[in-house]
Amino acid sequence: MNVWIEKQKYLIDFTLASLARRKAKNLGLLLVYSLIVFLLASVMLFTHALRQAANELLAGAPEIVLQRMVAGRHDLIPPGYLERIARLRGVLEKQGRLWGYYYDPVVKANYTFMVADDRLLAPGTLVVGAGLARTRGVAPGNLISFRAYSGKLFTFSIADILPAKSELVSADLVLLGEADFRAFFDIPPGHYTDITLRVANPLEVRNIASKLAQQFPDSRPILREEILRTYDSIFSWREGIVLALATLALLAFAILAWEKASGLSADERREIGILKAIGWDTGDVLRMKFWEGAMLSLSAFLLGYLAAYLHVFHFSASLLAPVLKGWAVLYPRFELSPVIDGLQVTTLFFFTVFPYAAATLVPIWRAAISDPDAVMRG
């Protein structure tokens, strides 16, 4: 065993010296290889971290959201629905929500107006998200005006700004009291945007949703798991767009592997011929070249993956954020928690390292089994 280890050490030492003799070529190859790994790993790390963040944020969401549909469009829920829902067995908690969208022509962005259930806001005051405050340049105590769809101008005082750590979901959020919300959007008392329900037994969520659909045929129950699947589909779709744009990088990698598999340079053939002439057998040559391809591909993978990790979790994925975040104007600022998926790393490793390492062995084997004199003569 010790003899085998010592032999591998000598082979690695010789391989490093061989790589150093072709420094410029190998450094260029390492740079291109690392950039390809960096691009692919950045997309995978960022989308996976966004999925995890969305799952954590939606973990506390209600199990069912009930929306009323009129002519296929979302409409206000009239009075009486909450009382009828209370008669259903298994419903632990029910609550009517008030929320809506507002287009601000000042910054050409959409805001989400919502009644604050966990805050006691005085009339004429509101709480805004950090993204909105940054875009409009406002701070607590400042006044801000919005013109309602009825044409009436409303002026509010900013009571507070939502914490930056919640900016992933609150960048465009505006919280205000119920009376102000109803006056701004002209919504009559007793009407709600939708109703949220919490279920006593999680296994009965689908049964209760089925009962809601039967009792309220003009409504649509939306399950939390369906929302999670929707987010996952959106992130997968955006990830696919970026990977499609990375086709050129993937094509470059394919050309690189093909060039390596198609043959050897004259210097490499001469080197193999000399090694065979001084007593190296075919197995030694293959092991030496295997170490050469393995060290180059592993170095590129580690460098590319480390750069992608720093890019995503320390520099907020600045190169990919405009595509994968999805906001049009109010881009939130947030730091994703480092999340690494073992299967994802293994898949990326398999599709970037193994093809190149395997491609290096084909021409090496052809040269290694040839006559040394013929190899050196080309």
Residue ranges of domains in the chain: 2-58+233-377, 64-223
Tell me which residue of 218, 219, 238 sits closest to 230, measured CA to CA.
238
Residue 125, beta-bridge partner list: 157
The whole-model pTM stands at 0.69
| 115 burial type by CB count under 10 A (0-12 exposed, 13-18 middle, 19+ buried) | buried
- What pLDDT score was predicted for residue 257? 62
- pLDDT in the model for residue 308: 92
Among 334, 361, 336, 4, CA closest to 171: 334
Q: Where are the alpha helices (DSSP H) in the chain?
A: 2-21, 23-58, 81-85, 130-136, 167-170, 178-185, 205-215, 224-245, 247-262, 266-277, 282-313, 321-324, 342-352, 354-368, 372-377
Residue 351's pLDDT is what? 77
Distance CA 37, CA 306 (A): 10
Residue with tokens 């009965």: 204
Q: 289-342, pLDDT tens digit by residue?
A: 777 777 788 888 999 999 999 988 888 777 776 665 555 556 666 667 787 888
> Which segments of the chain have a pLDDT < 70?
1-22, 118, 234-286, 288, 321-335, 358-378
Position of tokens 């995890």? 52
Exposure class string for 128-156: b at 16+ Cβ within 10 A, else e = bbbbbbbbbeeeeeeebebeeeeeeebeb
The single-letter code of the amino acid at 366 is: R
DSSP string across 70-113: ETTEEEPBPTTHHHHHTTSTTEEEEEEE-EEEEEETTTTEEEEE
Q: What is the pLDDT of residues 95-141, one digit of tens each?
A: 999 999 999 888 888 899 999 876 778 899 999 998 899 888 899 99
| CATH of the domain spanning 64-223 | 2.40.40.20
For residue 51 the two structure tokens come to: 């999925």
Residue at 296: amino acid letter? L
322 CB-near residues (< 8 Å, 6+ apart): 331
